[in-house]
Amino acid sequence: MPGHPVLRVTAGTAAFAGLLLVPTTATAAPPQWENVPTPSLTGLGVLTEVAAAGPQAAWAAGIENATSSGTPVMLAWDGRQWKRQALPPGTGQVVDLAAAGPRKAWGIYLNEEGSPALHWDGAKWRRVGYPAGVRPTMPSPLPTYLQIVSAAPGAPAWSVGYDTRAKKAVALRFQNGRWTRRSTPVPMVSASTVAVRSAKDVWIACTCDVPGTGPTEAMLHWDGTRWRTIRYPAKENTYIAKIVPVSATSVWAYRANTGYTSTPPELMHWNGKTWTSVAIPVNPQAYNFPTLADDGDGGAWVSVSTVDDDKSYLHYSGGRWTTESGEGRPGTAVWIRDLARVPGTRSIWSVGLDSSLAGRYFIERRR
């Protein structure tokens, strides 16, 4: 259910004065977000995931024929256009994506028969299943999966899952063509998200069984040699939905609610020593898909679901929020499903719908 807009930006007009009046022609500023053409999807289609490895390598996943059984869709960006890519027979809906290069991408999909992982090797997608008994992590009863697989250029991919036999969450690293379990400093009761910046910078948000404390909300940080447990001020009925590490002294996190409450979600920031947070200006009683991307310049992007306003992108920088609109959809309901920054640039990819019911799916880019 989309939420109501909470911020509006009004553009001002400029006056020109001089001794000589010269006729001028007003020109509209180019849109900051542009709609990028995509292949047609059959029936009701929606794109829900996006990941980027560079200017010439990005992927978007979703589903078509969503009003019936639904068929998973994978699109790839080659620097010029989006094209379809075939998925192995039997693949379910892809619920998360990660990319590290033109020949290195990963997907997690729903499949009751197991083997919920995919790997792109530059030629095709193939199955690379989780270890036996491990399932994708989803913090029920939320209607969306989270960032449960992550990668970065020059770094191995990591994922988090749930061991149905041991009844605990597990950390997984992709190496030698398969997913392998990795130990953590404390047992994880559950894990909601993972983020990779480099081989020496990996973050996991979890409810961890801390000795002497019991189940505790915490972050686990891998520095390439060892794990470190980092505590943060916990709040009831919340969880960490997304993490975006930028540097050793800058990490962003999106703290969401487990239900519809009067408490807004929060944008959290780690400066290398402490966590601070600021409320995200959205309608907390409506579901807003947790989206997060750094802007490449010290700030961060999130999004908001709207009912009658197209200002769905929220930018936080310098201690204040501003809003921006997508291209060519004024006054429409918007659901943004995912955001991803292109490594090495300030460009942002976005996927979503311009209406919650039978709307137009889109891929947008902010250059």
CATH number of domain containing 328: 2.120.10.70
In this predicted structure, what is the pLDDT of residue 11? 32
pLDDT above 90 coverage of the chain, percent? 65
Report the distance separating Cα 163 and Cα 177, nearest Å.
21
Residue 19: pLDDT above 60? no
Q: Are 194 and 204 in contact (CB under 8 A)?
A: yes
Residue 18: pLDDT above 60? no
pLDDT digits (tens, 9 = 90+) for 61-86: 999 998 778 899 999 999 999 999 99
Bond into 141 cis (ω within 30)? yes
In this predicted structure, what is the pLDDT of residue 288? 83
Token code pair at residue 281: 């200006």
In this predicted structure, what is the pLDDT of residue 306? 79
Least Cα distance to 233 among 264, 268, 184, 262 occurs for 268
17 within domain boundaries: no
Least Cα distance to 235 among 285, 286, 176, 277 occurs for 277
In this predicted structure, what is the pLDDT of residue 74? 98
> Which domain covers residue 251, as residue numbers?
33-366
In this predicted structure, what is the pLDDT of residue 123? 96
301 within domain boundaries: yes
Q: How many domains does one find in the chain?
A: 1
86 within domain boundaries: yes
Report the distance separating Cα 54 and Cα 70, nearest Å.
30
141 within domain boundaries: yes
Q: Are 213 and 168 in contact (CB under 8 A)?
A: no
Q: Is the pTM of this model over 0.95?
A: no
Least Cα distance to 348 among 25, 7, 34, 104 occurs for 34
- The band of 309, judged by pLDDT with boundaries at 50, 70 and 90, is confident
Ramachandran quadrant class, 187 (left: phi over 0; alpha: psi -120 to 50; beta: rest): beta
16 within domain boundaries: no
65 within domain boundaries: yes
Token code pair at residue 295: 């802007």
Least Cα distance to 85 among 117, 122, 50, 112 occurs for 122
Instruction: Please calculate the CA angle 117-219-222 and round it to the nearest 5 degrees.
Output: 70
What average pLDDT does this structure show over 314-335?
88
Least Cα distance to 153 among 346, 349, 364, 341 occurs for 341
